[in-house]
Amino acid sequence: MGRLLLRLALPAVMAQLVNALYNIVDRMYIGHIEGVGDLALTGLGVCFPVLMFVSAISALVGMGGGSRAVVRMGEGKEDQANAILGSCTALLILLSVLATAGFLAVKEPMLYLFGATDNTIGYASDYLTIYLCGTIFVEISLGLNFFITSQGFSTISMATVLIGAAVNIILDPIFIFGLHMGVRGAALATIIAQGVSAIWVLRFLTGRRTKLRLQRRYFRVSWKVLAPVLALGVSPFIMQSTESLVNIAFNTSLKAAGGDPAVGAMTICSSVMQVFFLLLQGLAQGAQPIIGFNYGAGHLDRVKQAFKLLLISTLTFSCAVWAVLELFPEAFVALFNDKPELMAIAVRSLRIYAAGMFMMGIQTGCQQTFVALGQAKISLFLAMLRKIILLIPLIYLLPLFFSDRVFAIFLAEPVADILAALTTGCLFLWRFPRILARRRQALEENQPH
């Protein structure tokens, strides 16, 4: 089991690390544009809510569909698994068109609402306009890649992201500095890279090696097929889409409390933490096919063994990340900008923002196991708990009790992290044995006498 988890998790972790490079590399280059890097970086940070929502759509359809399809494969129902893939592909295309048109229609007032100022609106608008034109590539490459991972082709899913990231890293300096396109060059490099990734995914899912295959007869929006997919995918969707609401709450509060430097510090903090959150998610993605398949096949001892290994891995990783960020925040901040005013506030803010990271291994390991077991309602509650129920109210409440409002706003993150992880761990200890017991009883009732 340990070797299997390592074999599946390592490529998934690498894929998430490379996936983070899509946005991180953009921010690193943009933050070092001569003379205006700090304002350009802040402008890009204002776009985060939209970028997160676009990514959340892929999780809603792809993670929900991938998790459900792998259970159907474990049950030997491959036609139903292929029907899930076909309907999810059609829905991803439909949602990408709607998202592009909707966000472009309200772009400028939306960006001001999200925390843009007259100093940063130009950079934010230029980046977002080009990025939205490539939404369909983002949805296909990210959303359908879950169906590759769920089959156990973790190396192929890693290659999906690796190819796109390599294209992005090569094109970024050419477009940003060589062609003097600035933030528009960063956005153009990103959507070209996502387009290449999308082509790779489609070629694999229509090829010979895949067990799940895109077929014309299943390519339609079937709500009968999609309803349970969306019910399961709504948890990761809320996890990612509520990042948009959180980012809006952070940006608007910090703009009022500390101006553009505080919003710029938030951009750096969220960029750094995004890398490590994605790595945690990669660990969980490596375990999900094992947990989901064995749960569907009735091998419940292997489900428990896989979860134990997952929890040890995620908790060890989150504690190590917490220690590194608290000891060496300057090294991470310097990657994005070296302007003294922004450096000073960002280093202090990162230490505060990351203070609860050591608990995120519990949150991620338990919550993603609920997703793998098909526990949609519990996953939905836990997704809402950390962001909606805890973090957003704390962003507005804590400044009422501290004279340093910027400190209080950043403090909301670790307080919410710790409370959410404790709640998730306790809920898992209560529910996990009962879920397995019900599955064991169902298997016994279905056995021939």
Question: Tell me: the pLDDT tens digits for 409-437?
Answer: 999 999 999 999 999 999 999 998 898 88
pLDDT digits (tens, 9 = 90+) for 309-339: 889 988 999 999 999 999 999 999 888 877 7
Indicate if the pLDDT at residue 253 is higher than 60.
yes
Residue 37 is which amino acid? G
Q: In this structure, how many other beta carbons lie within 10 angstroms of the beta carbon of residue 179?
A: 13
For residue 447, tell me if it sits in a domain. no
The pLDDT, as a whole number, for residue 406 is 93
pLDDT digits (tens, 9 = 90+) for 345-403: 999 999 999 999 999 999 888 888 888 887 867 877 887 888 889 999 999 999 999 99
Q: CA 78, CA 63: separation in Å to the nearest integer?
A: 18
Q: CA 286, CA 149: separation in Å to the nearest integer?
A: 8
Q: What is the dihedral of CA 393, 399, 401, 404, to 10 degrees?
A: 160
Identify the domain containing residue 58 by its residue range: 2-440
For residue 449, tell me if it sits in a domain. no
Percent of the chain with pLDDT over 90: 30
pLDDT digits (tens, 9 = 90+) for 67-91: 788 777 777 777 888 888 888 999 9
The pLDDT, as a whole number, for residue 390 is 93
For residue 147, tell me if it sits in a domain. yes
Name the more confident of 350 and 19: 350
The pLDDT, as a whole number, for residue 16 is 65
Q: In this structure, how many other beta carbons lie within 10 angstroms of the beta carbon of residue 145?
A: 29
For residue 446, tell me if it sits in a domain. no
Contact at 8 Å (CB) between 201 and 163?
no
pLDDT band at 306 (very low <50, low <70, confident <90, very high): confident
pLDDT band at 438 (very low <50, low <70, confident <90, very high): confident
Give the pair of three-digit tokens for residue 306.
Answer: 């896989």
Q: Taking Cα atoms as reference points, which of 15, 23, 21 lies closest to residue 54?
A: 23
Indicate if the pLDDT at residue 19 is higher than 70.
no
Q: What's the total number of domains in the chain?
A: 1
Residue 321 is which amino acid? V
Give the pair of three-digit tokens for residue 118.
Answer: 């007259």
Contact at 8 Å (CB) between 198 and 140?
yes
CA dihedral for 318, 323, 326, 330, sign (positive or negative): negative
For residue 47, tell me if it sits in a domain. yes
CA dihedral for 334, 314, 374, 287, sign (positive or negative): positive
Contact at 8 Å (CB) between 92 and 139?
yes
Q: Please tell me the pTM assigned to this model.
A: 0.73
Average model confidence (pLDDT) across the chain: 85
For residue 337, tell me if it sits in a domain. yes
The pLDDT, as a whole number, for residue 395 is 95
The pLDDT, as a whole number, for residue 27 is 80
Most confident option among 32-36, 203-207, 277-281: 203-207
SS3 (DSSP) at 447? coil
Most confident option among 42-56, 126-140, 250-264: 126-140
- Average pLDDT of the segment spanning 129-153: 88
- Average pLDDT of the segment spanning 87-98: 92
For residue 370, tell me if it sits in a domain. yes
For residue 445, tell me if it sits in a domain. no
